[in-house]
Chain A
Amino acid sequence: MNFDFSDDQKLLKDQARKFLTDKSSLKVVRRILDTDETYAKEVWKGIVEMGWTGTTIPEAYGGIGLGHLELCMIAEELGRSLAPVPFSSSVYLATEALLIAGSEEQKQKYLPGLAAGEKIGTLALSEGTQAATPKTMKVSFEGGKLKGTKMPVPDGDVADFAIVVVKTGSGTDEKSISLAIVDLTGGGVSRAPLKTLDPTRNLSKVSFDGAPAELLGKQGGGWAVVQQVLDRAAVLVAFEQIGGADAVLATAREYALNRYAFGRPIASFQAIKHKLADMYIKNELARSNSYYGAWALSTNAPDLPAAAAGSRIAATEAFNYAAKENIQTHGGMGFTWEFDCHLFYRRAKWLSLCLGSHLSWKDKLVSELEKRNAA
């Protein structure tokens, strides 16, 4: 039994933590929150220099050719620090979509730029305040041109190109769904940041009016690729959530030990002790599920869809719970702008919705279990 990350992988994690503690403190997160900056460019530059953007990209395409286990380690630290950078969009979504479905030519065109951090990519899936399904997709791709609006698009106002989930047939099932790559800096594209609950990560509205694009993968094969991308991203985002949840537990613990009420630290009251124990329990359940997700991701195991859903469900539960109960532990001070609790509360919600809702992942998990039990 060797169900753990290797010493080298843990070393990478330590390095990531050190870098982010130095360069991406919560002061940086607040700067993005309080200003019009869309992301912390100097942090992104450092991340690129350390090669993280090329973690899973093969050396032939300019990457460093490590694996997804290494990327999980980096993700956990990005989550812990709440780093305000477009990493997940560019690395978990755009890069993975290209690795899965890109033609040789497309890989050569896009991957070196992604690895070098010169280009930022994203995935444009959602179309409004409802779950994205083949039935609800409206953005069309005809004659090489895109038409319609995607919203919210993570880092849509930041990215250089997007992989857009489009309708290419007249049906309402997944056979009518394809993927198209579009240059977001070119003509026929208009985009604007959206007002969201977590301004430290960009979400935008992106409208296409005849923007030229090209297919990624087979026509009619887009939905299956999106599911694969989301499975992979779910594991990686779960590590961000675990990192965030761990940071929150440490904060809540520290505050409870130092805040006195009724003549004792509030950390000595069982109501608080049990609350923090519950946080710890949820965090460990999330970590264990996500380790399994990491294994399934790194080996491309047939169980990846269920493992990814399990990782995401447990990690969403953990980070959301920790973030809200951290505010509760802080009492009134936790509700102030000055205290950092809300930064985690916001990010927990962002991460828990960014790849689809808690409910939809639970539904997806049970569908996987039904298949397995039928087999």
Chain B
Amino acid sequence: MRRLWLVSVAAALIAVSCEREARRYRDQPQAAVPPDGVRLTTLRPGGGNDIAVSREAPFSDNAQAMAEGKRLYSAFNCNGCHAMGGGSIGPPLMDDQWIYGDAPDQIYSTIVQGRPDGMPSFGGKIPDQQVWELVAYVRSMSGLAPFDVKPGRNDDIGARPSEARTPATGPRQTGHR
């Protein structure tokens, strides 16, 4: 009985950990924009219930996708404006200030559509799969990624520590806007 219990716990752990380490090279997530568009605010005229913002996103539970996102963050020159999260020309990404929302689909839309005052539109340039990988990494910068998903090490030889070696919650500070 005790052995059966141990085996089922181990099986459950394996089932969960598979998702974290799964290398989903051929996934083709769709542009997950709902029919009525991504909402950037929970405010509604006339009050009423908060509109639920989607929290489901491809790759949000995948360490390898997050590591890929980290590589692409520099490769596609996100750090040219946002630096390594501290911001320079663009706003910082490692604080808790989100001008256009912190939900995965909101960040997705920000990357794909672009935003006023300098954020270019990468729609049609970055394939959807890679946008979602970037979303996973950008969310991890401000501590929004679950700790059990963060990669334990970098895929490349790099100067920066891996996500799992940074604090569980990112530094909370006020952005420059």
Q: A and B from one assembly?
A: no
Using CB atoms and an 8 Å cutoff, list the residues of chain B in contact with chain A: none
